Structure 1
Amino acid sequence: MTPTPEKTGAGSVFIRRLTLTDFRNYASLSLDLGPGMVVFSGENGAGKTNLLEAISLLSPGRGLRRAPYAEVTREGGAAGFAVHASLDGPQGPFEIGTGTAGLEPGGEGGRRVRINSAQAAADDLLEWLRVLWLTPAMDALFTGPAGDRRRFLDRLVLAIDPGHGRRAQDYEKAMRGRNRLLSEGSRDWAYFDAIEMQMVEAGTAIAAARAEMVRLLAAMIDRLPQGPFPQADLAVSGSLEAMVGHAPAVEIEESFRRTLASGRERDRAAGRTLDGPHRSDLIVRHRPKSMPAELCSTGEQKALLVGIVLSHARLSGEMSGGVPILLLDEIAAHLDAGRRAALFSILEELGCQTFMTGTEATLFSSIVGRAQFLTVDHGSVRATEGH
């Protein structure tokens, strides 16, 4: 039976101890951690981001790098990796373990998850904690492909609505089946009808969840004070999402069903399904400048993204009773001193455990005495001197 947390009131979740075995460049590591802000400093390539990646695996999916698990295992180490965390939260202390250590090589490439020593599914992790991250790769979120923005939006939805992951998996599975029928030249229309109905039901639910997230997040962004993190206007570009709120679900489903059925030959020629929530996009505008985010400067884009994530953390706290753990990789790279100070102040106000990395600890000098400072040095981590 999958363990479930007892709801005992509002509060944040934080990692008390993190233990790694054969993870990236860490043969063996055990860190004692406190709530609030944690700073990892060290030169490039020392392993700072690897620590954030390990923490990101305490949530469903392949983590912040989306790397195959075989790449995560330390080169020259034993078969498989292991990540273990002891945490405290509103439900009391609990333990999470995950990894591939002990699994048969050459399997399906999955990982094992255990919660309080009981085997669990990765989706069960969302009942215990939520993890969100910003990485340098996401600096190109607004100028990159729509798929990156969809994944970003879906992870925001997951932090509020754990069922979103299962809906996305059901949709992808059904769409792969439909694409296979298209590529095989099948004319089994009854089979098409059945598999498209699966896509319709899951796809409509996905679109509704995305639209609701944008609505809720927009309301939270409206509360963001004028300052270093500009307010963003958000919208979802997609045929299904556009109908949410303007038509009942049954009408949206029927419209999508007709679109899929009438588009079979066109999709067969294209070799893939051309309509559905897998083609949607998150549209972001810089409100004070009335400008598309993709046309803003790098610094403005970073500030917009930080503002969205901070607003989402507040939203998560109000809706689920606990803010997510935040992973902010090289967060100071495009933030000036004023924006860094504002960020640290908001993080303290949120009360969430936040892991931040930087090549220089001096970038975080304004929070000395208010954060835990650790120096990362190629497979080892120690307390930073003078902090």
Structure 2
Amino acid sequence: MFSNVRIEKLILSNYRNHKFLELELKKNIILICGKNGSGKTNILESISLLTSSSGIKKTNLIETVNSNLKGPVELFGVNLLCNINNKKMKIGLGLKKNANGLKKIINLEGLKTNKKIDEYFSIFWISPRMTFLFQNSKEERRSFIDQMICSIDFSFKKFLLQYEKYKSERIKILKKWNETSEEWLSLVERKLAATGIIICDARRKFIKQLNFNLSELDRPFHSLKIGLSGELDSLLLKKPAIEVEDFFLKKLKENRRKDILTGKTNFSANKTDLIVLNENYDREAKNHSTGEQKVIIFLIIFSFMKILKNQKDLKVIFLLDDVFSFLDKNFVLRVLDELNKLKIQTWLTDVSGDWIMKKESFKSIIHKINIDE
């Protein structure tokens, strides 16, 4: 299946170092080139913020506004002309001041909307932070898996947001009313448990697909096995979801006093960690060399792209930030080739990109843009 979403035009106004930038895109693969500090990643970040609160840079919104902007924040903007299923759609991202600082405003066809952009398409990105995926926090590894799932299942992000909402609501009830509001508390806990199991089960099914694809790789890569460390994840491999949901609900009730004291949910669907094991050596990915870890990350991405091939309605955009600096060039070329076959619009950054443009097979499919010019 081919991806059915394209950004045909991107306009940035007072976005970080870009006072004004207009790009018209003609091809599936867009290569943004320029000196370090020229704002290449800023372009990718502006796109990533459409479906994420902090984007590819994990930033605070106030940092995205051009530091030289003297006028109102409304002069800031990210405007796109998109083609989704052969229909043109204008999308705008702006900022508005509120009590907490700034909030994002999304416009569709010039009108403010409460709809989320990820109802229309998803965005998946790879950044230099991926180099340290197995040294970073378990939240980042979990986010890596969740982002891939969101690319093929638009409802998954909704469940993630609902889960956080119920978790926050439960802690507020416990802190304010202790356990005196039993009926309300039990209702929220039932919702939390049900949503948590939906999330865990979606992860389980996705990882099962990844493992199947990894098992079909040539030696020695077929020995990689992905798993999740959470207790709920382990139980779902052995028991029906309804039984695991009851167990989760029981744990929530047992932990009420502990959660009041700590102010957090101590037993949760989001306590899990991504485990990648090389069965040939009985060794986890975190114990491999940095070079081997990079290969493992790309093998997971390759397995993910095999899953994308089988999607009936593929709507995803890829952002690859500075991947040439931390990943093997041959791997990058293979990934770009696969993405092009899937007709997935892919944005990537590099200082010059000269080496890739020397490849005859890529000249016709890459739109190179030098933002230094």
Query: Is 1:61–1:122's contact at 8 Å kept on the other side of the alignment?
Result: no
TM-superposed CA distance for 1:178, in Å, is 2.6
Query: Which residue identity does 2:73 align to in structure 1?
Result: A
Q: Offset at 1:267? A: 2.9
Query: Paired residue for 1:298, among 290, 294, 310?
Result: 290
Q: Is the 8 A contact 2:97 2:103 kept in 1?
A: no
Letter in 1 for 2:353: A
In structure 1, the partner of 2:348 is: 356
Between 1:82-91 and 1:21-30, the stretch displaced more is 82-91
**One-letter amino acid matched to 2:366:** A
Does the Cα contact within 8 Å between 2:2 and 2:344 map onto a contact in 1? Answer: no
Matched, 1:52 2:41: no
**How many angstroms does 1:183 deviate by?**
4.3
1:326 CA displacement: 1.0
Shift of 1:109: 3.7
Report the residue type matching 1:90 in the other structure: N
Aligned length: 366
1:260 to 252, 261, 282: 252
Structure 2 distance, partners of 1:68, 1:319, is 34
Q: Does the 8 Å CA contact 2:2/2:343 hold for their aligned counterparts?
A: no
Specify the alignment match of 1:371 in structure 2.
366
Which of 79, 87, 91 is the equivalent residue of 2:82?
87
Task: Give me the whole-angstrom Cα distance separating, in 1, the residues matched to 2:233 and 2:293.
Answer: 25
The TM-score with structure 1 as length reference comes to: 0.85
Query: Aligned-residue CA RMSD in angstroms?
Result: 2.6
Match of 2:30 among 31, 34, 38: 38
Q: Which moved more, 1:298-307 or 1:283-292?
A: 283-292
Counterpart position of 2:104: 111
Deviations 1:90-139 (A, max 9, x none): 34332222221xx344467431222334443353x223222100001222
Once the two structures are TM-superposed, the CA of residue 362 in structure 1 deviates from its matched residue by: 2.7
**Structure-2 separation of matches of 1:204 and 1:109:** 34
Contact kept, 8 Å, 1:12 with 1:323, in 2: the verdict is yes
When residues 225 and 23 of structure 1 are mapped into structure 2, their CA distance, relative to the original with a 3 A threshold, is farther
Q: Which amino acid aligns with 1:21?
A: S
Aligned runs of 1:166-177 on 2, under 5 Å? 166-177=158-169
What residue in structure 1 maps to residue 185 of structure 2?
Answer: 192
Deviations 1:10-38 (A, max 9, x none): 54322111111111111111101123222
Which whole-Å CA distance do the structure 2 matches of 1:225 and 1:92 have between them? 41
Instruction: Give, in whole Å, the separation in 1 of the partners of 2:194 and 2:143.
Output: 20
- Gaps (5+ residues) in structure 1? 1-8, 383-387
Distance 1:321 1:226 in 2: 32
Tell me the alpha carbon deviations over residues 214-259 of structure 1, each in whole angstroms, 9 at most, x when there is no partner. 12233334455669x8774211221222222533332122111111
Quote the Cα distance in structure 1 between the aligned partners of 2:223 and 2:79: 37
Work out the CA distance in 2 between the residues paired with 1:66 and 1:286.
31
* Distance in structure 2 (CA, Å) of the matches to 1:259 and 1:106: 37
Deviation at 1:306, TM superposition (A): 2.5
Contact 2:32 2:347 in 1 (8 A): yes
Aligned to 1:110, what secondary structure does the other structure show?
Answer: strand
- 1:308 pairs with one of 271, 294, 300: 300
User: Which residue of the partner structure matches residue 93 of structure 2?
Assistant: 98
- The equivalent of 1:332 in structure 2 is 324
2:267 aligned with 1:275, yes or no?
yes
After TM superposition, the structure 1 = structure 2 runs for residues 125-140 of structure 1, keeping only pairs within 5 Å, are: 125-140=117-132
Q: Which residue of 1 aligns with 2:204?
A: 211
- Taking the aligned partners of 1:199 and 1:288, their CA distance within structure 2 comes to 39
| 1:20 partner amino acid | L
C-alpha separation in 1, matches of 2:30 and 2:219? 27
Rate the CA distance shift 1:193–1:349 in 2: closer, same or farther, 3 A: same
- TM-score where L is the length of structure 2: 0.88
Query: How many angstroms apart in 2 are the aligned matches of 1:30 and 1:97?
Result: 14
Report the Cα distance in structure 1 between the residues aligned to 2:334 and 2:82, rounded to whole angstroms.
28
Paired residue secondary structure (1:325)? strand
1:162/1:231 Cα in 2 relative to 1: closer, same or farther (>3 Å)?
A: farther
Tell me how far 1:148 sits from its aligned partner. 0.8
Q: Which runs of 5+ in 2 are unaligned?
A: none
Report the Cα offset of residue 317 of structure 1.
Answer: 4.1
Post-superposition CA distance 1:287-307 (Å, at most 9, x none):
666531112222222222233
Range that drifts further, 215-224 or 15-24 = 215-224
In structure 1, how many angstroms separate the alpha carbons of the residues matched to 2:280 and 2:5?
A: 34
